């Protein structure tokens, strides 16, 4: 039966002293996993040594207790920070108040619409000039029509019959 | 560092407002704090600023320190690492190669005394490669690796310092190591290829 290799992350954990005996058993006879594990062992040692060397060579400034002490005894910085925070908060509120009315208005309109659905008023549409047939038909109606504001009709209405006389 | 018993006394006096005790604590931890900050930020001036800021915060909030939860250094380290990470977030760190650092005399020194200059050089090269590769690891994993392999912290401590779960801390270390291994083996393969090409061209 072919045994499944552990994942690389499992091997990385094993190199850190984690994961169980089962994995250690596998590594004992599997040379490819043993090679990866050896890489991790080497890496950990080198990493610790590289970090130690780097920190030992770090250009550390001399301790400046006076600097710390003056910050501790000087609450001005804290006060000015608080002032800055308050100013930033106030300007944010002002911005929201200036920028929000349009959005808020729309929301109020939406809330007043029954049924929760948002209905928008139709925008005005400029009607095209009606054709001659429509004009003629309209001229026969008894209703006075404002010719300048004729609305477009989707059909041509039949002429209204004349009212019986006598 | 201050011995445990002395630290307790010194801290009690510092909490009571004794300036001499605060000064003693500052001097005891300044070096360790500066080195850790430098490893995390790779900039001496930034490290100095962050260390000072961390001490000021710690002294102002000394009454919040609970000795039952850990040593003063553990507490200070949480403050320091958090400030280092904020600093790094605010300022996108430029990647400085070790060639540049060695040019200005900031390359890692070989701390192991040896009579074998060739061995020392090889060691220095190897560590430089590892450190170079560490710069390419994702920031979260890099922080975890520094805390694990420089500070020697347990996963629970790393989790506390980085503000994540134990599993996340473990995962960051594992993934960081895996990234490092791939970076280093990738470079090795490139080097072998380059050498192979060079050998072929020499033969040809």
User: In this complex, do A48 and B145 lie within 8 Å of one another by their Cβ atoms?
Assistant: no
Q: Please report which residue ranges of chain B form alpha helices under DSSP H.
A: 4-15, 19-41, 44-60, 72-90, 98-103, 117-136, 139-149, 155-162, 166-203
CA A163 to chain centroid, in Å, comes to 69
Instruction: List pLDDT tens digits, range A47-75.
Output: 999 999 888 888 888 888 888 888 888 76
For chain B, give the mean pLDDT: 80
Question: Per-residue pLDDT for B204 more than 60?
Answer: no
Read off the pLDDT of each residue in A72-88 and give the average, rounded to a whole number.
73
ipTM of this predicted structure: 0.72
Chain A to chain B Cβ contacts (< 8 Å): 113
Of A13, A43, A71, the CB nearest to B180: A43
Residues in B touching A56 (Cβ below 8 Å): 108-109, 111
Using pLDDT thresholds of 50, 70 and 90, give the confidence band for residue B7.
confident
pLDDT for res B107:
46
- To the nearest whole Å, the CA of A96 is away from the closest chain B CA by 26
Question: Per-residue pLDDT for A143 more than 70?
Answer: no
Provide the token pair at B34. 């500066």
Using pLDDT thresholds of 50, 70 and 90, give the confidence band for residue B18.
confident
Read off the pLDDT of each residue in A147-154 and give the average, rounded to a whole number.
56
Provide the token pair at B199. 């050998």
Instruction: List pLDDT tens digits, range B112-150.
Output: 555 677 777 777 888 888 888 998 999 899 999 999 999
Quick one: angle between helices B155-162 and B72-90, nearest 10? 50
∠B132-B134-B137 over CA atoms, to 5°?
125
User: In this complex, do B149 and A44 lie within 8 Å of one another by their Cβ atoms?
Assistant: yes
Q: What Å distances lie between residue A10 and A19, A40, B137, B158, CA to CA?
A: 7, 11, 19, 20
Provide the whole-model pTM. Answer: 0.62
Read off the pLDDT of each residue in B68-96 and give the average, rounded to a whole number.
81
- To the nearest whole Å, the CA of A46 is away from the closest chain B CA by 6
Are A16 and B175 in contact, with CB atoms under 8 Å apart?
Answer: no
User: In this complex, do B150 and A72 lie within 8 Å of one another by their Cβ atoms?
Assistant: no
A134 vs B174 pLDDT, higher one: B174
Are B184 and B130 in contact, with CB atoms under 8 Å apart?
Answer: yes
Are B151 and A48 in contact, with CB atoms under 8 Å apart?
Answer: no
User: In this complex, do A9 and B48 lie within 8 Å of one another by their Cβ atoms?
Assistant: no
């Amino acid at each position: 039966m072919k045994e499944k290799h552990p994942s690389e992350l499992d091997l990385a954990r094993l190199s850190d002293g984690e994961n169980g005996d089962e994995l250690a058993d596998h590594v004992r006879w599997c040379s490819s996993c043993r090679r990866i594990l050896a890489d991790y062992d080497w890496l950990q040692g080198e990493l610790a040594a590289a970090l130690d060397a780097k920190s030992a060579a770090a250009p550390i400034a001399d301790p400046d207790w006076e600097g710390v002490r003056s910050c501790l005894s000087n609450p001005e910085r804290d006060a000015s920070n608080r002032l800055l925070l308050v100013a930033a908060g106030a300007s944010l509120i002002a911005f929201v108040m200036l920028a929000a009315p349009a959005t808020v208005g729309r929301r109020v309109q939406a809330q007043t619409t029954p049924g929760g659905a948002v209905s928008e008023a139709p925008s005005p549409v400029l009607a095209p000039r009606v054709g001659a047939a429509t004009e003629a038909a309209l001229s026969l109606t008894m209703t006075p029509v404002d010719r300048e504001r004729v609305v477009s009709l989707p059909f041509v209405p039949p002429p209204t019959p004349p009212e019986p006389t006598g | 560092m201050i011995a445990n018993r002395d630290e307790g006394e010194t801290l009690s006096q510092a909490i009571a407002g004794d300036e001499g005790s605060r000064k003693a604590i500052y001097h005891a931890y300044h070096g360790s704090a500066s080195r850790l900050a430098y490893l995390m930020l790779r900039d001496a001036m930034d490290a100095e600023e962050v260390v000072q800021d961390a001490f000021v915060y710690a002294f102002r909030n000394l009454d919040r320190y609970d000795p039952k939860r850990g040593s003063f250094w553990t507490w200070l380290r949480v403050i320091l690492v958090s400030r280092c990470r904020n600093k790094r977030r605010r300022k996108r760190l430029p990647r400085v190669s070790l060639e540049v650092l060695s040019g200005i005399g900031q390359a890692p020194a070989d701390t192991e005394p040896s009579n074998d200059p060739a061995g020392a050089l090889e060691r220095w090269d190897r560590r430089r490669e590892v450190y170079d590769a560490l710069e390419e690891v994702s920031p979260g994993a890099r922080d975890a690796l520094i805390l694990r392999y420089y500070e020697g912290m347990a996963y629970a401590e790393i989790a506390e310092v980085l503000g994540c779960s134990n599993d996340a801390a473990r995962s960051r270390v594992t993934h960081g190591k895996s990234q490092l291994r791939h970076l280093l083996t990738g470079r090795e393969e490139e080097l072998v290829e380059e050498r192979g090409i060079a050998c072929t061209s020499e033969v040809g």
